[in-house]
Structure 1
Amino acid sequence: MVMAEKIAVLGAGSWGSTLANMLVENGHSVMLWARNQEQVDRLNTEHRNPEYMKDLVYSDQLVATTDMRAAVKDASVLLIVIPTKGLRQVAHQLDQLLGELRQRPLIIHATKGLEQNTYKRPSEMLEEEIAPDHRRGIVVLSGPSHAEDVAIKDMTAVTAASTVLDNAKEVQKLFSNSYFRVYTNDDVIGAEFGAALKNIIAIGAGALQGLGYHDNARAALITRGLAEIRRLGVAFGANPMTFIGLSGVGDLVVTATSKNSRNWRAGYQLGQGQKLADVIQNMGMVIEGVYTTKAAYELSRKRQVKMPITEALYEVLYSGKDIKDAISQLMSRDLTSEIE
């Protein structure tokens, strides 16, 4: 029996609110922080979050707040589910609060992306912004896990990655239940690169379907996309085996094959001929893969890592290249070995 913990969840989007609800159902005391007062009021009174999870009725024991101090106070565990571009700011605010409250919780994050210009992974941003004496450790939670499926208790398996395995095991116990299974891993670099870069390939997979391509094309893209993800991750010290695990191929497959993925949906709309600006505006939620494509492209150039699919998508997203021309060029590149 897992002992009940006071847990603060920062970020009330689809994934953050769903995980918060599941943690309540696992027997923990959870406060969910969000910036939007209307969203918080609706969660507390109607137990709904329709902008993100229109069909989920949340536990009446889940408490939402716009007061970060109230959420964090006395929490032994903090779960951060913030888009990449807002993570550093929230972490900085959190560091000040933890110093004032004299708390040292375990930090878990479920953010999937790379910071623009610095190319930092989420755990690196957290390490820079949250002082060591304000945290017990940092754990990455990632894997093939659409919020919509977890909300209906579909069987799900994810990875908790930490350089300190005991911290990963603590997260494993907090989250695991009859339908949500957590495995441990000590490869934080691999887990974070897998989580971030799969969103790029998901955009490509959606675009292929939007253009009318079929299963063969999607399978080729996913497989060769995984090769690119592995190459870049290994260049930064990741364990290549991580990329055939849940936070690698697992997360890639679910994101690149499902309409629940906003990255896939964005790619599909691009394939159908919509403009990127319109796709972003109509989505209403952050499309991490759009920003990760730019970061990964620039990073691959700096490290001289071959990422032809990422490069092609970068040219489509940021240089206005016609997507059909990009595919044609990918297919007509010099022939090479699969092992390269």
Structure 2
Amino acid sequence: MVLNTQKISQHTVSVIGSGSWATAMVKMLADNKLEKEIFWWVRKEEDIEYINRYRHNPTYLSAVEVKLEENHVLSDARQAIRSTDIVILNTPAAYLKLALQGVEKPDLEGKIIVSAIKGIIPDENLIVGEYLNQTYDVPLDHIVVIGGPCHAEEVSQEKLSYLTFASKDLDKAQIVADLLSNRYINANISDDVLGVEYGAVLKNIYALAGGICHGLGYGDNFQAVLVSNAIREMEFFVQEIDPADREINASVYLGDLLVTAYSQFSRNRTFGNMIGKGYTVQSAQLEMNMVAEGYYASDCIQSIIHKNELEMPICNMVYQVLYNHQPATFEVSKLAKKLT
């Protein structure tokens, strides 16, 4: 059955994922004043028991109170999805397929599917919207993509933040924006789905680059040049992939890049900083105990760069360091000569 967004007065929403961003999104939904019913898929049974008993996620953003009705925290993703008309996917991109195991095409039929994921599905090398369309036959105009700049940690502290909701169907983007807006979340609407998705992927790679350079001892002067080159490289890439009339200095592109490149909460910058200081990829991953989307994205984006014969020196530097195990000092030194 096709969802008729004009006739639904109360939405049912499921959040698929249990990390920091998913926890923050449950909080955003609960703090919104519109009438709705919220279901939350959490992977670990012990976490579900803890949440039901103490109303907090024991692993991520543990200070956030979980304001859900009884029995609305579920271990079965398919059950959570089938109970709702709006599905918010909020796992690391590399783990999305695992989260959706057992979910079938009819389970997503007619629903608004929202991607709050800022990464690429590794094996298929697809952004999330394309993956949903090709794997589950979700129509592109039923997909809404959420872009930043917005760190979960600041949302948990109710610091004023801005999100962009992008869809080919602006009415659906508005529905999702209305459900997630509240006194500390402001919403923008966009039809630039590919630009928002690819921009979110690229800014993680550029934050990794900034972290690598910081770990090597490069200062703020160099970081400013790196980021100003990064936004131009991002614009070049998205225009090559999807030519459109977009304003690259908008908050969803430049703003998200800035906060990810500079914020203390940026796991991609933190990961890159550790690499710059001499950590191996494996040791950095173990110490962080969190997913840095830019690591997986670097490999995927490099394939697209190669396929389209694009010149992307910052992305190339990150790839050479992370995947070809080239010395960071050498690769950043080469990069520095190309920056302007």
TM-score, reference length from structure 1: 0.90
Residues 221-280 of structure 1: CA deviation (Å, up to 9, x unaligned): 111111111111111114352432222111111111012111111011112221111001
Q: Where does residue 65 of structure 1 map in the other structure? A: 74
List aligned pairs for 1:151-300, cutoff 5 A: 151-239=156-244, 241-300=246-305
Corresponding letter in the other structure for 1:47 = R
Pairwise CA distance, 1:86? 2.5
Q: Are 2:99 and 1:94 aligned?
A: no
Is the CA contact (8 Å cut-off) linking 1:230 and 1:240 kept in structure 2?
no
2:89 to 80, 84, 97: 80
Pairwise CA distance, 1:72? 2.3
Distance in 2 (alpha carbons) for counterparts of 1:281 and 1:131: 36
Q: Where does residue 50 of structure 2 map in the other structure? A: 42
Aligned residues: 330
Query: Which stretch has the larger CA shift, 142-151 or 89-98?
Result: 89-98
Is the CA contact (8 Å cut-off) linking 2:14 and 2:81 kept in structure 1?
yes
Q: Where does residue 52 of structure 1 map in the other structure? A: 60
**Structure 1 residues 87, 243: closer, same or farther in 2, change over 3 A?**
farther
Pairwise CA distance, 1:44? 1.4
**Structure 1 residues 36, 3: closer, same or farther in 2, change over 3 A?**
same
Which sections of structure 2, spanning at least 5 residues, go unmatched? 1-7
1:110 to 112, 116, 135: 116
Pairwise CA distance, 1:186? 0.4
**Structure 1 residues 243, 50: closer, same or farther in 2, change over 3 A?**
farther
Is the CA contact (8 Å cut-off) linking 1:8 and 1:32 kept in structure 2?
yes
Distance in 1 (alpha carbons) for counterparts of 2:81 and 2:106: 8
Pairwise CA distance, 1:95? 3.0
Distance in 2 (alpha carbons) for counterparts of 1:226 and 1:115: 23
Pairwise CA distance, 1:131? 2.9
Distance in 2 (alpha carbons) for counterparts of 1:313 and 1:256: 14
Residues 175-211 of structure 1: CA deviation (Å, up to 9, x unaligned): 1111101100001010001011100010111122222
1:329 to 328, 331, 334: 334
Distance in 2 (alpha carbons) for counterparts of 1:18 and 1:150: 6
Is the CA contact (8 Å cut-off) linking 2:41 and 2:73 kept in structure 1?
yes
**Structure 1 residues 317, 116: closer, same or farther in 2, change over 3 A?**
same
- 3-state SS of 2:104 partner: helix
- 3-state SS of 2:248 partner: helix
Pairwise CA distance, 1:64? 1.4
Distance in 1 (alpha carbons) for counterparts of 2:99 and 2:281: 28
Distance in 2 (alpha carbons) for counterparts of 1:140 and 1:318: 29
Q: Are 2:17 and 1:11 aligned?
A: yes
- 3-state SS of 2:282 partner: helix
TM-score, reference length from structure 2: 0.90
CA RMSD of aligned residues (A): 2.2
Is the CA contact (8 Å cut-off) linking 1:7 and 1:75 kept in structure 2?
yes
- 3-state SS of 1:218 partner: helix
Residues 112-151 of structure 1: CA deviation (Å, up to 9, x unaligned): 1123354311100011122348x97110011111000011
2:26 to 13, 20, 34: 20
